[in-house]
Amino acid sequence: MLQNNPVLMKLKKKFNKKNIKAEGIVRSTSKSYGFLEIDSKKKYLIASKNMKKVMNGDKIIGSIIVKNNRKMIYPEKLIEPFLKKFIGNVYKINDLIFLQPIYPYLKGVSLHCLCAVNTSILKDGDWVLGKLTSHCLNQKNVFEAKIIDFIAQKENPLAPWYVVLTRYNLEKSSPEIKKNNLIYRNNSLKIRKNLTHLDFITIDNSNTKDIDDAVFVEKISNENYSLTIAIADPTEYISNNTDLDNIAKKRSFTNYLPGFNIPMLPKILSEDLCSLKQNEIRPVLACRVIIDAKGNILYKDLEFFLAYIQSKSQLSYDNVSNWLEKLGIWKPKNKKIKKQIKLLKIIYDIRYKWRKKNALIFPNYPEYRFNLSEKKEVLGIFIENRRVAHKIIEECMITANICAAFFLKNTLGFGLYNTHIGFDVVNANSASNFLKKYNIFVQSHEIMTLKGFCKLHKYLKNLSNNYIYNRICKLQAFGELSLIPQAHFALGLDYYATWTSPIRKYSDIINHRLIKSVIMGLKNIRKPEQDVVTHILNRRRLYRIAVKELEKWLYVQFFFKYYKNNQYLKATITDIFKNGIQVRLINNGAFVFIPASFIHQLKTEITFNTELGVVYIHNKIYYYVTDIIKVRLLSIKKENNTIIASII
C-alpha cells in the first residue's frame, strides 16, 4: 500500500531531485553493508555494492537517495581516506600482487599492488608495509597501493614482533658500532676514586648481560650503615650530541618485549664495556649514603663521586633469595660475599620500614611471563613473583634515586625528575564525592597535598576494599617527567630522580651528565630541553602500547594451541565498557572480553556504568570492577587478537 502511495512517491521524487549531500565517516559492520555516520545520533545506510567503493573510517561526501522507502547514501567524493600507511599481508592471483590490510574492519578489502620490490621474493602471507596510492572514489575507480617496506616472511618466528614494532615505527635491532670507533674519553680520570679493593657485588637475573648497578655495604658504627651504589657510566663513551648520543636519545629506552629485547645502546657498550661484569674494572658514577638504624638517610653525609670498581661476585636473584630463605644448596663463595648479602638484607629491612611509615608502598601485582621456545612458540605462561633479593636491590635503587633528587635540587635546582601529581582539581572533587557514598569523608584540597594523599591511601589500604581502592586509583593522574623538582605522590616522596639505569634509559644518561658536571666543577650547566622530555614520554608510551599488543598476539597463539572452547577459568573484572566487560584470567594474565549478550540475555535490562565501574541488571548492581568471577571461554578472534568468554 505504501509503495503506491502518491504522496510518498511525490516526496521521494522531490527528495531525489534535490540531490541532498551528506558528509560523514564510513562505518563497516560484520555484514556486507555499512553506514555513513553523520554524528552520534544520525547515520545512513550504505548498500553492500557501494561499500566496495569505501573503507571503514573513510571521510566522504555522498548523495542521499531513497530506496524502498529508506534513506541511503551513494558515496561520491573522498575527503580523507582512513587508510594511508598500513601493515598488510601479500597474496597472489596469477601474476598479480594484492595486499590485505590488517585491520578488523577491513577484512574484505583488497588493494592491487604496484610493486616497488622484487615480486619473486614475495609469498602468500608475507608481511609488508604498504601505502595507499589510489582510492576507489578517485578517477581510477580502484584501490591501489605500493609496498614501501618488507617486514617479514609468513613463516618467520619473529614476524609478530617485527609487525608490532613496524606499526609503531620502533627499532627492530640493536644499534651497531665497531669497537675501534668507540673512544673512552678519560675526562674524569684524575678525580676517579679507586674502589677496586671493595667487595662490590651485583644481583640480577641469571641471564642478564647489561649489568648497570653494583652495591657495597659496611657497618660504620653501632647505629649507622654506609651504602655505596655504583652505577655503570656509559657517558664516558657517549659525548653529548654525537651520533651515538643521538641514537640513544631517539630510542630513549631499551625495549623489553616478551622474549625479545632491543637495546638502547650498542651491545658492545651495554653488554661489555659498560656492563659491571664480575672481575672486570669499570668506571662508575657512585653514591655513598649513610643510613641510621631507623632507616633515615643522613643527607649531610651524602656524597656523589666518580670511581672505578671491580665486582667481586655476579649473583642471581633466585640464588640469593634461596640462601636467605634457607632453600636449595647454593651458598656464597666466601665469607665476604656472605657478609655483603646479610648487610644488604638489613638495609632493605630498615629502609622498607621507613618508607612504609613515611612514604607509600603500593601492592605488588603479579607479573606474567611467557615461556617461549627457540622458534618463539608459547610453551607456557608463568607468574614471576618478586622475591626478597629483588626487593633488596629495588630498595637500594629507590634510595639512590631519592639521593639523586636531593643532590640535583640542592646543587642545580633542576634535573629530570620523575613526578606524580596525585589528583588534579576535577578528579580530587570526584574522589571526595565518591568516597562520601561509603561514609569516608575527605576534603578535595586535603588529598591534593602529599601528606593528605598518603593519608588517604594508607586508610584505603587498611580498609581492604578492592573496589573503592580501584576507583580512587582510576582518578589519579599518570606519572610524568619534570625539569624542576616536584613531588612524586604515588611513591609518597617529596622528590625522585632516576639515574640507576643509564645503559637502558636515556633520561638516566641526562641525570648522569648533570651530576657529573657538578662533581667536575663545570660552570654554566644548562637545563635539558623540554623537547627531549616530550620525546622520552612519547617513546615510553609507544613501548608500552607495543608490549600490550604483542602480549595479546601471544595469548591468542597460546589459547589456540592449549585451550578448548567452554573451558572454565577464574578471572578478575578489570574494566567496564559500554558493550561489555574486560576480565583478566588469574592463572595466566590474559585479558578477555565478555560481550553484553553473554552477561544477560535481554539488552534492555542491562546497563554498563563505565564511570563507576559497575554493571546493573534490573537496576541492581550485579558486578563490580575487581570482582573475581568464573568465566567460560567461547571463541578467539584472530583478526583483532581478542578472546571472547561468557560469565558462568
Contact 92, 122 (CB under 8 A): yes
Mean pLDDT for the stretch of residues 504-509 = 98
Question: Which domain covers residue 40, as residue numbers?
Answer: 6-80
| Residue type (1 letter), 262 | I
> What is the per-residue pLDDT for 560?
85
Residue 1 falls within a domain, yes or no?
no
Q: Which of 89-98, 170-179, 496-505 has the highest mean pLDDT?
A: 496-505
Residues 6+ apart with CB under 8 A from 57: 25, 26, 82, 83, 105
> What is the per-residue pLDDT for 94?
81
Residue 89 falls within a domain, yes or no?
yes
> What is the per-residue pLDDT for 11?
55
> In the listed set 65, 80, 95, which residue is the last one of a domain according to the structure?
80
Residue 172 falls within a domain, yes or no?
no
Q: Residue 138: is its pLDDT beyond 70?
A: yes
Mean pLDDT, rounded, of the chain: 92
C-alpha grid cell, residue 447: 588529598
> What is the per-residue pLDDT for 376?
94
Residue with the bigger pLDDT between 218 and 68: it is 218
Contact 422, 448 (CB under 8 A): yes
**Is residue 61 domain-shared with residue 89, that is, in the same domain?**
no
Over residues 189-226, the pLDDT tens digits come to 678 999 999 999 999 999 999 999 999 999 998 889 99
Q: Could you tell me the strand order of the sheet in which 606-609 lies?
A: 606-609, 614-617, 620-624
Q: Residue 33: is its pLDDT beyond 80?
A: yes
Q: Residue 396: is its pLDDT beyond 70?
A: yes
Residues pairing with 113 in the sheet = 145
Q: Residue 31: is its pLDDT beyond 90?
A: no
**Is residue 145 domain-shared with residue 252, that is, in the same domain?**
no
Output the domain CATH number for residue 55. 2.40.50.140
**Is residue 70 domain-shared with residue 209, that is, in the same domain?**
no
Over residues 552-592, the pLDDT tens digits come to 999 999 988 877 766 789 999 999 999 999 999 999 999 99
Contact 154, 247 (CB under 8 A): no
H/E run at residue 76: strand 70-80
Mean pLDDT for the stretch of residues 519-531 = 94
**Is residue 468 domain-shared with residue 541, that is, in the same domain?**
no
CA–CA gap between residue 20 and residue 11 (Å, rounded): 13
Residue with the bigger pLDDT between 406 and 563: it is 406
> What is the per-residue pLDDT for 603?
86
**Is residue 332 domain-shared with residue 429, that is, in the same domain?**
no
H/E run at residue 467: helix 466-474
> In the listed set 433, 455, 477, which residue is the last one of a domain according to the structure?
477
Which of the 8 DSSP states describes residue 565?
T
**Is residue 262 domain-shared with residue 381, that is, in the same domain?**
yes
> What is the per-residue pLDDT for 1?
47
Residue 169 falls within a domain, yes or no?
no
- What percentage of the chain has pLDDT greater than the value 70? 95
Contact 611, 627 (CB under 8 A): no
Over residues 358-392, the pLDDT tens digits come to 999 987 888 999 999 999 999 999 998 899 999 99
Sign of CA dihedral 235, 237, 239, 244: negative
- What percentage of the chain has pLDDT greater than the value 90? 79
Over residues 232-242, the pLDDT tens digits come to 999 999 999 98
Residue 164 falls within a domain, yes or no?
no
Which of the 8 DSSP states describes residue 13?
H
**Is residue 543 domain-shared with residue 573, that is, in the same domain?**
no
Residue 33 falls within a domain, yes or no?
yes
Contact 230, 220 (CB under 8 A): no
> In the listed set 549, 574, 592, which residue is the last one of a domain according to the structure?
549
Q: Residue 306: is its pLDDT beyond 80?
A: yes
Residue 90 falls within a domain, yes or no?
yes
Mean pLDDT for the stretch of residues 532-543 = 97
26-40, 282-296, 313-327: the lowest-pLDDT one:
26-40
Q: Residue 326: is its pLDDT beyond 80?
A: yes
Over residues 267-288, the pLDDT tens digits come to 999 999 999 999 999 999 999 9
Report how many domains make up the chain.
5
Q: Residue 641: is its pLDDT beyond 60?
A: yes
> What is the per-residue pLDDT for 189?
65
> What is the per-residue pLDDT for 274?
95
H/E run at residue 244: helix 243-251
Q: Residue 2: is its pLDDT beyond 60?
A: no
CA–CA gap between residue 516 and residue 502 (Å, rounded): 13
**Is residue 539 domain-shared with residue 398, that is, in the same domain?**
yes
> What is the per-residue pLDDT for 359?
97
**Is residue 258 domain-shared with residue 400, that is, in the same domain?**
yes
**Is residue 193 domain-shared with residue 300, that is, in the same domain?**
yes
Listed residue (105, 47, 89, 93) closest to 71, CA to CA = 47
CA–CA gap between residue 142 and residue 152 (Å, rounded): 27
14-28, 131-145, 479-493: the lowest-pLDDT one:
14-28
Residues pairing with 624 in the sheet = 614
**Is residue 110 domain-shared with residue 126, that is, in the same domain?**
yes
What's phi and psi for 175, nearest 5 deg?
Answer: -65, 150
**Is residue 244 domain-shared with residue 389, that is, in the same domain?**
yes
Helix (H, G, I), strand (E, B) or coil at 606: strand
Q: Residue 480: is its pLDDT beyond 50?
A: yes
Listed residue (607, 576, 608, 612) closest to 431, CA to CA = 612
Residue 249 falls within a domain, yes or no?
yes
Q: Residue 13: is its pLDDT beyond 80?
A: no
Mean pLDDT for the stretch of residues 435-445 = 96
Q: Residue 14: is its pLDDT beyond 60?
A: no
Q: Which residue spans within 296-444 are E strands per DSSP? A: 303-310, 313-316, 367-372, 378-384, 417-419
Catalytic residues: 204, 210, 212-213, 317, 504
Over residues 581-633, the pLDDT tens digits come to 999 999 999 999 999 999 998 888 999 999 999 999 999 999 999 999 999 99
Output the domain CATH number for residue 112. 2.40.50.640
